[in-house]
Structure 1
Amino acid sequence: MAFTLPKLPKFSGRTIAVLAVAGALGVGAIAASASKQQQAAAPPKPADGQAAPLTADKANDQTSLEAAAAAEAKLAQCRSARLIPVNKTWGIPMPSVNGSSSTNCNLKYGDTPHRGSDRTGDPLTAIQVLQRNLNSCYGTKLTVDGIYGKNTRAVVTMVQRKHKIVVDGIYGPKTRSAMNWRLYSSATRSWSKTCSSPL
C-alpha cells in the first residue's frame, strides 16, 4: 500500500507575501522580547564620565573593603620601627607598634610626629622609615622629615591606587602588605638592589 501526501492548498502571490510579512513580524517580536529580557538582567551602562554601577557582589566587596579600611584607621599610631625578618638573610625596616614587633598600626595625615597628647614611642623614626622606603621603591622625592604631611599622604594614596587597594591616604596593614619594600641585611650591612613585596 502506497503512502500519499495530502495536497496542499494553492496560495496566490499576494497571500504568500502577507504570510511572509506576518512571520517576519512574529520573529521580530520574539527577538525584541528576548532583547528586553537580556537588558533587564544586565546592569545599566554608565553614561560618559560616570563610574560603573556596582553589582550586588561588587557592592558587598566594596563595603567589606571600606569596613576593613575603617578598622585600620582606628589602629594605634606606629610609634617605632623594627627590622622584620623575611628570611635568614634579609629583613624589612618598617613602622611598628612601640615595644613590639607587631606592625599592625597606622600612620596618617597630621602625625607630626606624635598624634594627640600621647608622647610615647618614636613615631618620628616610624614616619622616616616609611618616607625613605617610598623614595627608594617608588622614585618619589619626599623630604625625610618624620612628618606625615600632604606630600607623604599623596604618595601613600598613589601607592594604594597602584596596588588597587582602598585609597584613603592612611598607611596601615593593607598598604604595608601591598606595597614594595627595600630589604636590608644586618649580616652584610647592605640594602637590596631592588624592591619587592615579600609580605
Structure 2
Amino acid sequence: MRTTRRASLASLAAVAALAVPALVVGSPGTASAQVAPKAVAAEAQCTNFTNVSVGGGWYLHVPSVGAGTGNYNCVVVRGMNGLAVLVVQESLNACFGQGIVEDRDFGGNTEQAVRNAQTQINSDWGSHVLDVDGRFGPKTSAKFYFQAYDYSNGQNGRHTGFCYGR
C-alpha cells in the first residue's frame, strides 16, 4: 500500500481566493438601487497541463489552457475528454484515494470524485473554501493537491506518492 503525503496547510494558506465585489446600480438617493448580476464570462477549457516545480526535480502536472502556459484560469468539467482530465483523475486517485478509472473521460464517477475532493479540502481548511459542485475550476485548482512526478536522475516522470498544492 502506497502512503500519500500532502503538503502542510501552512504552505497551502499562501494561496488566497480572490473576491469580486458586486456592483450597485441605480441613482444616488433612490430606493431602487439593486445589486447588478455578475457578468458570466465564457469559461476556457483546460486542454493540457503545466509542470509546476516543487523542487528536487519533482513537478506537479496542473491542468492549464495549453501546454506549459501556466494559465490555470480554466475548467475541467463533465463531458470533457483529454490530457487535462487525465491529470485530474491521476491526482484524485493518488492524493484523495478515489479509485476511479484513469480514462481521460470526465464522466459521472470523475465528477463525484471531484465533489469528494472538494469536501475533503473544505474539511482540511476547516471552513467552506470551495463549492462542492464537481467542477474542477480555478478555485478548486488553487486549493487542490496534485501528485508529484519525479523527473530527476532518469526517473522520466515516475509517480512519487507525494501530493502538494500548487
Please say whether Structure 1 and Structure 2 have the same fold, judged by a TM-score greater than 0.5. yes
Aligned equivalent of 1:34: none
What TM-score does the superposition give when structure 2 sets the normalisation length? 0.63
Pair 73,180 (structure 1): closer, same or farther in 2 beyond 3 Å: farther
Cα separation, 1, equivalents of 2:107 and 2:41: 16
Task: Give yes or no for contact 2:90–2:147 (8 Å, CA) kept in 1.
Answer: no
Aligned CA RMSD, in angstroms, stands at 2.5
Runs of at least 5 residues in structure 2 that lack an aligned partner in the other structure = 1-18, 23-37, 123-129
Aligned equivalent of 2:99: 141
Aligned equivalent of 2:57: 89
| Mapped pair 1:168 → 2:133 | yes
| Mapped pair 1:180 → 2:145 | yes
Cα separation, 1, equivalents of 2:76 and 2:42: 11
| Mapped pair 1:194 → 2:159 | no
Structure with greater helix percent: 1
Pair 71,194 (structure 1): closer, same or farther in 2 beyond 3 Å: farther
Q: Which has the higher contact order (CA 8 A, sep 6+)?
A: 2
Runs of at least 5 residues in structure 1 that lack an aligned partner in the other structure = 1-63, 114-123
| Greater gyration radius | 1
Q: How many equivalent residue pairs? A: 121
Displacement over 6 Å in runs of 4+: 70-73
Structure with greater strand percent: 2
Pair 80,141 (structure 1): closer, same or farther in 2 beyond 3 Å: same
In the TM superposition, residue 131 of structure 1 has moved relative to its aligned partner by 0.6
What TM-score does the superposition give when structure 1 sets the normalisation length? 0.54
Cα separation, 1, equivalents of 2:52 and 2:77: 21
| Mapped pair 1:98 → 2:66 | yes
Deviations 1:3-58 (A, max 9, x none): xxxxxxxxxxxxxxxxxxxxxxxxxxxxxxxxxxxxxxxxxxxxxxxxxxxxxxxx
Task: Give yes or no for contact 1:72–1:173 (8 Å, CA) kept in 2.
Answer: no
In the TM superposition, residue 192 of structure 1 has moved relative to its aligned partner by 2.4
